Amino acid sequence: MNQDTRLNHLRGSPRCGAKTRAGGQCQCPAVRGRTRCRIHGGLSPGAPRGAGNGNFKDGYWTTEATEERKWVRRALERYAKGTDQ
């Protein structure tokens, strides 16, 4: 792969959307498969899962609950577009 191709891939890569103190977005290249750059948490897998690690009050933000809400939203979008049938 020559240098121009590599530079074009770098330019076309998704950008980090982290908010900067100046008010804009970071715009560094995001880590592969993620939406943030290496500085803004792109490399971090996040906090450990489960009830032993977290400050749960009502379960609204558990993985299961957020996945369920995503599923409902997708189903609603499909229904609204009329592609459900």
Binding site for Zn ion (CB under 5 A): 16, 18, 26, 28, 37, 40
Q: Output 32 or 57, the one with its CB closest to Zn ion.
A: 32
SS3 84: coil
Residue closer to Zn ion, measured from CB, 28 or 34: 28
**Buried-exposed string 17-36: b where 16+ CB fall within 10 A, e elsewhere:** ebeeeeeeebebbbbeeeeb
Handedness of CA 60, 39, 9, 25 (dihedral sign): positive
Least separation in angstroms between residue 26's CB and Zn ion is: 3
Query: Minimum distance between the CB of residue 23 and Zn ion, rounded to whole angstroms?
Result: 14
Nearer residue to Zn ion within complex by CB, 29 or 62? 29
